[in-house]
Amino acid sequence: MFITVTTNPNWKEITDHLLEGQHPHDRVQSPDYVSLLNFVTPAENIDILLDRIYPQIHSNYENHTWLMQRAILAPHNDSVSQINKFLAEKLPTQTHTYIAINSVVDEEQAVQFPVEFLNSIEVSGLPPHVLDIKCGMSVVLLRSIKPPELMNGTRCIIHNCDRHFVKVVIAAGIYSGQHHSIPRIP
């Protein structure tokens, strides 16, 4: 299978991967060719991309159906963080900051793993050390909290932020519309 975002047979990605005796038009007309052109929104920069995918988010963010019909896929976590930051800045709600409490179990290992080092680690599947969220943000749960409603991968909308918990509304699936409180987990 050959997947690309273009239908131009002279594009470098197509011409560089031709088999012996194969011509660019053969590749584009092949049954193993899949073009994502209809599913891609090209943009010159991140602001233009956000405006195309989330037009007028400052007024549409409360419409959960509208919000769940949109997504941006990115290949790297740092790109996702940057997109989330820019998108959050467009929401008119107040930012709530949650700071993780990182420590080592064995005090003797504190020299090998200082708290500053633990705070700097950003790994897929774990929230960042400093988590900024806003009411109206779309989020995905990273762990199962209350099966089957609040499972890893459940898409929710932040409804309210408190010091010790966050209230969310499940935004997609059979439990859509249900309200839940997610406690701060030490």
Choice among 82-96, 105-119, 120-134 with the minimum mean pLDDT? 105-119
Burial code (b: 16+ CB inside 10 Å, e: under 16) for 118-152 equals eeeeeeeeeebbeeebbbbbbbebeeebeeeebee
Confidence of residue 28 (pLDDT cuts 50, 70, 90): low
Burial of residue 31 (number of CB atoms within 10 Å: 0-12, 13-18, 19+): exposed
Q: What pLDDT, in 10s, does the model give residues 51-101?
A: 999 999 999 999 999 999 988 888 788 888 899 999 999 999 999 999 987
49 vs 43: CA distance, rounded Å:
5
Tokens 């020299």 appear where?
111
The backbone torsions φ and ψ at residue 153, rounded to the nearest 5 degrees and listed phi first, read 100, -5
48 vs 149: CA distance, rounded Å:
35
